[in-house]
Amino acid sequence: MSKTNSKEEDLILSWSRGMGMDLSASQMSLIGIYLDELCEWNTKIDLAGPADRDGIIRELLLDSLYAARFLPEEGSLLDVGSGAGFPAIPIKICRPGLRVHMMEPSLKKTSFLKHVIRCSNLSRVRVIRGRVEKDGDLLDRRGYDVITARAVAPLLKTLTWCAPHLRPGGLLVNFQGKKFENALREGEPVLERQRISLYKAIPYEVPGKDSERHLLLFNKQ
C-alpha cells in the first residue's frame, strides 16, 4: 500500500487539475508506488537530488506532470538521462498509450528503473543502459515522436545529442530555469543544422518554490 498521505495527494491532484488533467485513482496509486520505492531506494543509493519526499514531489514530480499535459496520448517517447525516472515514469502514468524508452548510463539507476516498472506493472516501457551521445545505435532507428531531457547537459549539447533521434514533426521537451535565452542564441546554428525550432517557451512556478522555470518545446521540421 502506498504511503502517500492526503496532503501529498491534494497537492498532486490540485496541480494536475489546474492544468486540465484529472488523474484517476489508479494513476494516483501508481504515483504513490513510484514515490514509495524511490524514497526507500534513495536512502541507500543517491537516486534523486532532493533527499526528502516533499522535495522530490515539488522539485521533480510536479515538473514531470506539467510536461505531460503537452504530450500526445500515443506514439513513442525517448527520455534521455532518466536518472530516477523523471520525467518518464510520471509521463507514462499520465499517458499510458505512449511507448517509452528510458536511457540512463548508471547501472544502479537502471536497476531501480526496472524494479519500479515491475512493481507498477507498466507495459511498453524499456530501460536502455547507455549514453545518447555514444550509444545511439541502441535506440530505435526509426526515431521518436517525443524526446524529453531533464538536467542531462547544457542546452546546446542536449539539442545536439537529441535532435538526430527525433522524427520529423516530433517534439523535443527540455526543462530550463529562469535564464536560458543566451544558451538558446548560442544554439541557433545547431537548431538550423538539425532542422529544429523553438515552438514554445512556457514559464511556470511550482507550489512552494519561488524560482521561475521554463518548459522549452522544440519542433523538428
Q: What does pLDDT average to in each consecutive run of 10 residues of the chain (221 residues)?
A: 73 90 93 94 80 86 92 96 95 96 96 95 96 95 95 87 94 87 82 89 82 89 84
Instruction: Provide CB contacts within 8 A for 62, sequence distance 6+.
Output: 11, 12, 15, 206, 207
Instruction: Provide CB contacts within 8 A for 114, sequence distance 6+.
Output: 127
Domains in the chain: ranges and CATH: 6-220 (3.40.50.150)
**Do residues 185 and 156 make contact, with C-beta atoms less than 8 angstroms apart?**
no
Write down the pLDDT at residue 1: 41
Instruction: Provide CB contacts within 8 A for 65, sequence distance 6+.
Output: 12, 15, 16, 19, 21, 90, 94
Write down the pLDDT at residue 50: 67
Statement: the pTM of the whole predicted model exceeds 0.75: yes
Write down the pLDDT at residue 181: 83
* Cα four-point dihedral sign 215, 162, 155, 85: positive
Instruction: Provide CB contacts within 8 A for 141, sequence distance 6+.
Output: none
